[in-house]
A = this chain, B = another copy of it.
Amino acid sequence: MKSGTRIGVKDIAKMTNVSIATVDRVLHNRPGVALATEKKIKAIIKKYDYRPNILARTLASRKVIRLAILIPAVSKETTYWQAPLDGIGQAEAEVRQFGVTIEKYFFDLNDKQSFVRQTKRILKSKTDGVLMAPHFEGDAEVFSEQLTEQKIPFVYINSDVPGQNSLSYIGPNLYRSGFLGGQLADFISKETSTCLIVHISKTPDSYYHLLEKEKGFRAYFKDRKKGRILKSDIQRTDYASIKKELTAVLKAQRVDLIFVTNSRVFYVARFLEEAGISNIRLIGFDLIDKNISGLESGRIDFIISQKPREQAYRGVMALYNKLIKGEPVEQQVFMPIDILTKENYRFYEG
């Protein structure tokens, strides 16, 4: 045994008078080792705190690990999912040399069936791990159960499905991000101001997320506000409908600040622009291109963002750590809640 440095399989074999093949067997919990031998070897492993050399292991076992990614396609409607895609690319570059390959499956945010179709393809593809955005909760549940049954680890990003035994959830804490929205609103409005919460969404599947943000926002203002908090639920995502609804609301009452619970805040910015309203403050989510324009023009004051790129990056790495390094991974990772303005968004790395 070399002094100072770590021990290897050869050292363990020598110290226990067995071959390295046998050492390898107990290292991987493979059957076919006498209990006494196994105990001896395990004792040495423990005593010297043996850690396998991942480089050598990867090189020798030409095993390739296949990961499947199931996320929404980037669409004209929203470019949000470009960021996670970039994060996956970055992770891929780092883990490729360790024999990890990644297959991407995309679904249409407006088409539940496309999600289901892709889950079936993944199940057929014999994959070792899955990273998914469980957008359609019910279907994601079914899929998760199938994966659990086949002992395929999976991690959620962007939104969580509680109760499933995912390896990890990596994404926002919606309630806290709404709460922060409340604080930001408080910073830029008076105690007596009227705030309007706007949900813009036609899919009931993600509506729950918006409600969580609303809850957080309202919670911040509990016992703190003299002004009113209004709410508007817009169930269509075309500009004409949004315009109509906002026009009606603003005609009925004075509003000082609008809090849009998702990335569609740019519609509201456009509306304010067109209507020539400049005294309403605006806060929304996600640094997509159209929202950057809103920051630039000064229509949008704050964008709250939760590192979409990094969510996906870390999701892949979680799978890698579990599958290749056998390391434990955190069951729940809440991403930082980033505050972006006209003056710092340029440096943002998401």
A residues adjacent to B (C-beta < 8 A): 53-56, 58-59, 97-98, 173, 176, 179-180, 182-184, 187-188, 220, 301, 334-339, 341-344, 347-349
- Bound-state CA distance A97–B338 (Å) is 33
Once the chains are docked, how many angstroms separate the CA of A98 from the CA of B94?
A: 13
Contact of A59 among B56, B338, B349 (CB under 8 A): B56
Given A176-B344, A180-B341, A183-B341, output 15 extra A-B contacts at Cβ < 8 Å. A55-B58, A55-B59, A183-B342, A187-B301, A188-B188, A220-B343, A336-B338, A336-B344, A336-B348, A337-B344, A337-B347, A338-B338, A338-B339, A339-B339, A339-B344
Smallest CB separation, A285 vs chain B (Å)? 14
Q: How many angstroms between the C-alpha atoms of A338 and B53 in the bound complex?
A: 38
> Is A55 a contact of B301 with CB atoms below 8 Å?
no
- If A54-B97, A97-B53 touch, whether A344 touches B180 (CB-CB below 8 Å) is yes
- Residues of B within 8 Å of A336, CB to CB, are 338, 344, 347-349
Nearest Cβ in chain B — how far from A329, in angstroms? 15
Contact B183 A343 (CB under 8 A): yes
| 6 interchain residue pairs of minimum CB distance | A339-B339, A337-B344, A180-B343, A336-B347, A55-B55, A183-B343
Please tell me which one of the listed residues B98, B188, B334, B344 contacts residue A187 in the complex, with CB atoms under 8 A apart: B188
Q: Which residues of B contact A220 (CB under 8 A)?
A: 343
Q: How far is it, in angstroms, between the C-alpha of A220 and the C-alpha of B337 when the chains are bound?
A: 25
Given A336-B348, A336-B349, A338-B338; A343-B179 close (CB under 8 Å): yes
A182 neighbours in B (Cβ, 8 Å): 343
* B183 contacts A97, C-beta separation under 8 Å: no
Give the residues in chain B near A343, CB-CB below 8 Å.
176, 179-180, 182-183, 220, 337
Interchain CB contact under 8 A, A97 and B339 = no
With A187-B187, A338-B338: A173-B347 Cβ-Cβ less than 8 Å: yes
Per a CB cutoff under 8 Å, which of B97, B188, B335 touches A347?
Answer: B335
Contacts of A188 in B (CB 8 A): 187-188
CA distance A336 to B188 in the complex (A): 23
Report the bound CA distance from A179 to B182 in whole Å. 24
Query: Across the interface, which residues of B come within 8 angstroms of A301, CB to CB?
Result: 187
Q: In the docked arrangement, what's the CA distance between A350 and B348, Å?
A: 13
Which of A180, A183, A339 neighbours the largest number of chain B CB atoms within 10 Å of its CB? A339
Q: Provide the residues of chain B in CB contact with A335, threshold 8 Å.
A: 347
Q: In whole angstroms, how far apart are the Cα atoms of A342 and B187 in the complex?
A: 12
Residues of chain B within 8 A (CB-CB) of A179 are 343
CA of A336 to CA of B342, assembled, Å? 13
| Smallest beta-carbon distance A95→chain B, Å | 12
User: In the complex the two chains form, is B337's CB within 8 Å of A339's CB?
Assistant: no
Bound complex: CA A180 to CA B340 (Å): 10
Residues of B within 8 A of A56 (CB): 59
